[in-house]
Amino acid sequence: MELVFATHNKNKLEEIKFLLPHYIKLLSLDDIGCDEEIPETADTIEGNAILKAEHVKHRYGYNCFADDTGLEVEALNGEPGVLSARYAGNDKNDLANVRKLLSLLENKNNRKAQFKTAIALNLNDNQNLFTGICKGEITKESHGDKGFGYDPVFRPNNFKITFAEMSLTEKSEISHRGKAFRELITYLSK
């Protein structure tokens, strides 16, 4: 079976290839000739995952899955949420996004947050949605140099270190993305 992962990110692709059953041939957007940026215009994380999966299915005709991830901060009424990658502007600058977040939380005691990943799977004319959530808090300053995005300021519950201080293996065990992809892989392995 061929399945497209709606991403241009080679690292994500290799990570998922390693976890999938051997009978699934995983393709990227590059593999199917899709060099466009798929619009993410929904107002929810789940909606954006569905939009991307639908785009590939209808435009290119492949069975496909797509993911979207966001950071939701309680004291900011769920922001940055669906705008996580572009929180400080359309150039998707991780450092600027973190600075903006820390600035908005500067005088707030409630620093509870959660990462959420949604994966939409379009397979044989059926659609399924898989969600992973990791609860934690936003630190007052950046710690660590691993990972990307908000990892240096997100400390998961029951841990003393941020995602950016964890090995990829350790992070994958507890992360939102890891949880959602394990649900997807379990489903595909049936």
Does residue 23 surpass a pLDDT of 90? no
Residues 124-155 pLDDT 10s: 999 999 999 999 999 999 999 988 899 999 99
What gap in Å lies between CA 26 and CA 13, rounded to an integer? Answer: 8
- pLDDT for 169 equals 85
- Name the strand (E) or helix (H) holding 185: helix 176-188
What gap in Å lies between CA 39 and CA 51, rounded to an integer? Answer: 8
Distances from the Cα of 176 to the Cα of 99, 123, 173, angstroms: 22, 22, 9
DSSP secondary structure letter of residue 98: H
DSSP secondary structure letter of residue 27: E
What gap in Å lies between CA 90 and CA 107, rounded to an integer? Answer: 26
Distances from the Cα of 117 to the Cα of 14, 96, 99, angstroms: 18, 22, 22
Residues 56-66 pLDDT 10s: 999 999 999 99
User: At 2, phi and psi to the nearest 5?
Assistant: -100, 140
The domain total for the chain is 1
What gap in Å lies between CA 18 and CA 1, rounded to an integer? Answer: 16
CB-based burial, 134-172: b 16+ in 10 Å, e otherwise: bebbbbeebbbeebebbbbbbbbeeeeebbbbbeeeebb
Instruction: Mention every residue, 6+ apart, whose C-beta is less than 8 A from residue 102.
Output: 138, 140, 141, 153
Residue numbers of the domain that contains 168: 2-188
Q: pTM for this one?
A: 0.90
Of 150, 112, 116, 121, nearest to 132 by C-alpha is: 116
Residue 72 belongs to a domain with what CATH number? 3.90.950.10
Q: Look up 125 and say whether it is catalytic.
A: no
Q: Which one of 31, 43, 67, 68 is the catalytic residue?
A: 68
